[in-house]
DNA sequence: GATTATTATGTAAACGGTTACATTATGGTG
DNA sequence: CACCATAATGTAACCGTTTACATAATAATC
């Protein structure tokens, strides 16, 4: 009864009405074709085969825009990252992607260059693309953005930060504790004049937390972090070099530098080499993140391992749960651990 | 005459029928709202204002899926890159993105890990997302993919390769000539035992071209590149190290290594340092790409500068032209240039 | 001021799927 | 075998825009 009527069965002139073509070819209705792809177990085995065969024959690729329209769901997740030039973030989105694709979700990436205004733009653009959920980095951002998401009922997760006290869900490390631990490690080596290079802490809460953690460790020793020993720079190897030079300018007897991430730290390491400062003999340099490069370089970089791949998987899972209406922990802690390599050691006196 | 009728003017329960809400609020038809955003000069100034005001008030964000459905155009471009872990590609997509956004196009990125099968999957997924155009890397891929694109009339550009003789449009450097020039540079220093580390040349035409270029330079000198001096590895610093170790195992009197990209080269540089081989005294190491890191490291890496940011802009422009139906050159050449730094020099004899 | 060209807006039919609901086939029971 | 529960499929409305075409407003011309 459902066979081709033979008179209008050309597979559409150039690609229009496409699910209909498959339906006609297989001799079923469009609803059945749709079900075949979306809920195969609700379709009789034999019909399934016919539809698959027809789809294959016609080279059918469903139109996700139409799907999104029809179903009110796009199966797309958006993620906003501050930069794509730090492999810590590419690892993260790689892991996100991988986990999401298992549930047939697709990832849309927006990059905002650490600029809150771009971040807002990119979020709008993600929403325009119809994402079902959003992943953000950190928690510090304009209230407007949170309201935008909540107003549209778009679930989201703040990644890269662990903030149980925040009203918003989060998955990430406790940078404050990690920074404290790292600083303690340096203090135990006898370092007293410690410098700090990081991103701008006013727009970046991770940087602010690292700063707080350092102060946490310094205070019991009656030490502090004066302004001239706290440098904020944009992110690049070169800025790590600049950071170190600036620190040394004001504090020539500096004995240790904490860098908010390994990019700065590696830059500082290069600069130390060029300045003929022996590491760790005269200067200890430590970082955050544990990039692949940090293990390769020599001396190896002492750093705080930040398992962003694991974080990506956890974030994805949390978001997927939320999308399925299942409850999830409000804040998930990602463990970091101190990795000690050759770039740090006891203070051994200056040769400068 | 078009004012609210007052009885069903609630701004939609939770976000449905949205362009209608703006239309109602502004007292115009949905067509006018649509025109307001898409061809503002076809709308009377005063109406424009009213619509913008209404849109702002209702926090209107158009639904791009619906737009795509209605207009048959998504204003999305897809790009397929082999990896996101090499900053040469992040620079590239950054530049692409930037140029495309000027024309209000959005970029969708797919990563295929140098695996042709993934590449096919990702291309399907891009098409499913309704991209208006596609950017690929290199030209060597299954015919099916080309047919898929052509069958659907989706314009595309092969980036990272300059192939005027290919039937497909391309924008990129001439790796063969560049490799030849780089090799000549080493030969002129007296190097005769040269090793080569690169990606797998069977699936990667850029690697194949670099290989060909090296051979081009060696042949006139009656030299060749025996198998044991040609290593193919996946892409990572560690694989650069492995590559160098393997080369030295079979050819202990190696005097120079050409790496297909700077990641390998930097890995090799690290390995040389760990093996106490002086660079460039005992061994010259050169690469391709000119990463930020290659200038920072010491010794600085001699390499072939590959302006991927420029390439991104050119690729974007070519694709945009094509989308507007304007003719473009079939193949565009991106200039590379040799950057000489400290990692290469005359052969000065072994201490091994 | 009637007529015509031009500009601004409205009307309604697509676009390609999904899905609630209706209908038909299938299989199990007494 | 009539009856009913269940499984499989079909019908058609709907999602939020765009756009061809129709119509209304405005400007230009005589």
Report the candidate in A312, A316, A290 with the shortest Cα–Cα distance to residue A301. A290
Across the interface, do A64 and B128 touch by the CB < 8 Å criterion? yes
- Does residue B20 approach strand D to less than 7 Å at its CB? yes
Domains A18-62 and A175-305 fall in the same CATH topology? no
Write down the residue that tokens 């399925």 correspond to: A324
How far is the alpha carbon of B232 from chain A, nearest alpha carbon, in Å? 20
pLDDT average, residue stretch A52-61: 96
Residue with tokens 């709202």: B33
Architecture (CATH level 2) of domain B72-173+308-333: 3-Layer(aba) Sandwich (3.40)
Alpha helices, H only, B27-155 = 30-38, 45-58, 64-71, 87-102, 116-128, 143-151
Contact at 8 Å (CB) between B206 and B232? no
A200-239 confidence digits (pLDDT tens): 999 999 999 999 999 999 999 999 999 999 999 999 999 9
Rounded to whole angstroms, the distance from the CA of residue A150 to the C1' of nucleotide D11 is 37
A68-111, pLDDT tens digit by residue?
999 999 999 999 999 999 999 999 999 999 999 999 999 999 99
Q: What integer is the mean pLDDT of B109-116? A: 97
In the block, which residue shows the tokens 């600036």? A246
The pLDDT value recorded for residue A349 is 62
Q: Which residue of B has its CA nearest to A78?
A: B108
- Beta carbons of A108 and B111 less than 8 Å apart: no
Please provide the CATH number assigned to the domain covering A74-173+309-333.
3.40.50.2300
- Between CA A42 and C1' C27 the distance (Å) reads 17
Here the tokens at position A26 are: 């297989």
Per domain, the residue ranges of chain B are 18-62, 72-173+308-333, 175-305
Nucleotides of C under 7 A from a protein CB: 7-12, 14-20, 25
Question: B-chain residues within 8 Å CB-CB of A15?
Answer: 152-153
pLDDT, mean of residues B191-216: 97
B69 to chain A, any CB pair closer than 8 A? The answer is yes
Q: Shortest CA distance to B152 belongs to which of A64, A57, A61?
A: A61
Q: Strand A256-259 to strand A106-111: parallel, antiparallel, or no bridges (unpaired)?
A: unpaired
Residue among A132, A155, A149, A103 nearest A313 (CA): A103
Chain B residues with CB under 8 Å of A68 CB are 65
Look at B66 and A69 and tell me if their CB atoms are within 8 Å.
Answer: yes
- In chain A, DSSP assigns E strands to 76-81, 106-111, 133-137, 156-159, 170-172, 194-198, 230-232, 256-259, 284-289, 302-305, 331-333, 337-339
What is the pLDDT, as a whole number, of residue A211? 98
Topology of the domain covering B18-62: 434 Repressor (Amino-terminal Domain) (1.10.260)
* pLDDT band for position A350 (cuts 50, 70, 90): low
pLDDT at A17: 59
Give me the residues paired with residue A305 across strands: A289, A337
Starting at the edge strand found earlier in the chain, the sheet holding A337-339 runs A230-232, A194-198, A256-259, A284-289, A302-305, A337-339
Domain B175-305 belongs to what architecture?
3-Layer(aba) Sandwich (3.40)
Q: Are A213 and A202 in contact (CB under 8 A)?
A: no
What is the per-residue pLDDT across B120-178, written as a single tens digit (0 to 9) for each? 999 999 999 999 999 999 999 999 999 999 999 999 999 999 999 999 999 999 999 99
Q: Are residues B84 and A66, on separate chains, in Cβ contact within 8 Å?
A: no
């Amino acid at each position: 009864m459902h066979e081709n009527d033979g008179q209008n069965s050309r597979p559409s002139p150039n690609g229009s009405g496409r699910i209909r073509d498959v339906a006609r070819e297989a001799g079923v209705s469009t609803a059945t074709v749709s079900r075949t792809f979306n809920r195969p177990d609700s379709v009789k085995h034999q019909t399934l085969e016919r539809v698959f065969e027809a789809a294959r024959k016609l080279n059918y690729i469903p139109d996700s825009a139409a799907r999104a329209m029809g179903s009110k769901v796009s199966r797309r997740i958006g993620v906003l990252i501050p930069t794509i030039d730090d492999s810590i973030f590419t690892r993260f989105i790689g892991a996100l992607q991988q986990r999401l694709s298992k549930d047939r979700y697709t990832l849309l990436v927006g990059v905002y260059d650490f600029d809150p205004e771009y971040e807002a733009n990119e979020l709008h653009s993600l929403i325009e693309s119809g994402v079902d959920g959003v992943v953000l980095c950190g928690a510090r951002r304009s209230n407007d953005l949170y309201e935008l998401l909540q107003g549209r009922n778009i679930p989201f997760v703040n990644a890269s930060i662990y903030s149980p006290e925040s009203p918003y869900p989060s998955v990430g490390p406790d940078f404050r504790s990690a920074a404290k631990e790292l600083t303690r490690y340096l203090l135990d080596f006898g370092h007293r004049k410690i410098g700090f290079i990081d991103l701008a802490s006013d727009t970046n809460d991770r940087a602010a937390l690292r700063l707080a953690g350092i102060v946490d460790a310094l205070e019991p020793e009656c030490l502090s972090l004066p302004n001239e020993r706290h440098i904020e720079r944009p992110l690049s190897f070169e800025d790590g070099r600049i950071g170190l030079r600036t620190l040394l300018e004001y504090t020539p007897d500096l004995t240790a530098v904490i860098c908010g991430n390994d990019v700065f730290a590696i830059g500082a390491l290069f600069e130390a080499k060029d300045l003929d400062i022996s590491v760790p003999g005269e200067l200890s340099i430590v970082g955050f993140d544990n990039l692949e490069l940090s293990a390769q370089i020599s001396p190896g970089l002492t750093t705080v391992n930040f398992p962003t791949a694991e974080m990506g998987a956890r974030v994805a899972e949390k978001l997927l749960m939320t999308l399925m209406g299942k409850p999830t922990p409000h804040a998930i802690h990602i463990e970091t651990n101190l990795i000690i390599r050759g770039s740090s050691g006891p203070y051994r006196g200056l040769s400068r």
